[in-house]
Amino acid sequence: MDFPGGHILSIDQFDRGDIDRIFTVADSMEPYAQRRKLTKVLDGAILGNMFFEPSTRTRVSFGSAFNLLGGEVRETTGVENSAIAKGESLYDTARVLSGYSDAIVMRHPQAGSVAEFATASRVPVLNGGDGDNEHPSQALLDLYTIKKELAANGRSLDNFRIALIGDLKYGRTVHSICKLLTLFKRVQVTLVSPTELKMPEQYVDQLQSAGHTVVETDQLEESIAKVDITYSTRIQEERFASRDEANLYRGRYRLNQAIYTQYCEPNTVIMHPLPRDSRAGANELDNDLNENPNLAIFRQTDNGVLVRMALFALVLDVVDQVDRSAREVAWYTGGRLTQ
């Protein structure tokens, strides 16, 4: 895609070269994200961070990424706190907010809403998750993490094995991941979900058309026995008609240290987009995995900052200028650097 001035709405926009470009730029952001260097390349720029659904990581890491490049962040959270609650259209909101900002990140409960918003925006719009549709920046940071984790075991993104587990029907992160995997070769994908929450057909078709092996099952243990990556997801209760309906599936697939030790190969990497539901009835990733060195969930969240910095630098076309304004950090950064 043509990054400068572009929107980031769907994984459909990217080819493999784009992914390589994003990952190379993300690598170059490491000194800034780790606070070894400061840059002011986005000095004076304003990010409109518009979150009309709950969020911790995506909202704060997009904001931090913009701050780390030297820009400022203005935020709206919750439909009830915005004029959308007064009936304002996405079109009007986009026209207004794009007059106040140099880039906009938006999360919204309705599938397709962020793309609709982008048509009226005069500045780049990045999709922070639109309903049960897509979450492209999460899929990018997940794949960036998978690349690093595989590389640590001498492997590459072509020819690996992954199990996607949980609510595959409503999970937008796994939808974007399936699309992203089509850009690679010979991936073995195991889709583990209750029958009612299966991966929508369009994503399965795309994986198969890309030549990948796809197995669909409702059994956890056998599926995690021969994979390089397990990627668990939360039951997306906000997309169900009622909490009771979500409760039918909550807790169905729990990975804990005992199950990991019994079934997984020694280096299997454990991932999750987070939040993991840590309530007793859910626990799709148990806390007893916290000391497992293959638990990559907090490496994913750290990598999210790098990938989101890269996306901003690309759409605002400052990649080549980041280092020009670099200077050393004056304060103690030891804790961060030893993570």
| Binding-site ranges for ligand NCD (CB under 6 A) | 57-58, 129, 135, 138, 172-173, 233-234, 236, 273-274
CB of 303 to ligand NCD, least distance (A): 12
CB of 132 to ligand NCD, least distance (A): 9
Q: Within the chain, what is the greatest distance between any pair of CA atoms?
A: 56
Give the Cα-Cα-Cα angle 227, 228, 234 (nearest 5 degrees).
80
Q: Which is nearer to ligand NCD, 210 or 220 (CB)?
A: 220
Q: What sign has the CA pseudo-torsion 211, 299, 172, 130?
A: negative
Give the Cα-Cα-Cα angle 261, 262, 268 (nearest 5 degrees).
50
CB of 47 to ligand NCD, least distance (A): 17
Size of the chain, expressed as the number of residues it contains: 339
Tokens encoding 264: 């997984």
CB of 150 to ligand NCD, least distance (A): 21
Q: Which is nearer to ligand NCD, 172 or 179 (CB)?
A: 172
CB of 268 to ligand NCD, least distance (A): 21
Q: Read off the amino acid at residue 2.
A: D
C-alpha span between 215 and 5 (Å, rounded) = 39
Question: What is the full DSSP assignment across 247-315?
Answer: HTTTTSS-B-HHHHHHHS-TT-EEE--S----STTT-SB-GGGTT-TTB-HHHHHHHHHHHHHHHHHHH
Tokens encoding 275: 């939040």
Q: Which is nearer to ligand NCD, 212 or 308 (CB)?
A: 308
Q: Which is nearer to ligand NCD, 173 or 230 (CB)?
A: 173
Chain centroid to CA 328: 30
Q: Which is nearer to ligand NCD, 54 or 211 (CB)?
A: 54
Burial class (CB in 10 A: 0-12, 13-18, 19+), 244: exposed
Q: Which is nearer to ligand NCD, 211 or 275 (CB)?
A: 275
Tokens encoding 32: 């800034």
CB of 200 to ligand NCD, least distance (A): 15
Give me the residue whose beta carbon is nearest to ligand NCD: 234
CB of 56 to ligand NCD, least distance (A): 8
Q: Which residues pair with 229 in a beta bridge?
A: 162, 269
C-alpha span between 298 and 303 (Å, rounded) = 8
Q: Check if the beta carbon of residue 143 is closer than 8 Å to that of residue 180.
A: yes
Q: Which is nearer to ligand NCD, 22 or 41 (CB)?
A: 22
CB of 293 to ligand NCD, least distance (A): 22
Tokens encoding 216: 């669909």
Give the Cα-Cα-Cα angle 152, 158, 164 (nearest 5 degrees).
85
C-alpha span between 25 and 16 (Å, rounded) = 14
Q: Which is nearer to ligand NCD, 276 or 322 (CB)?
A: 276
CB of 264 to ligand NCD, least distance (A): 22
Q: Which is nearer to ligand NCD, 41 or 141 (CB)?
A: 141
Cis upstream peptide for 31 (omega within 30°):
no
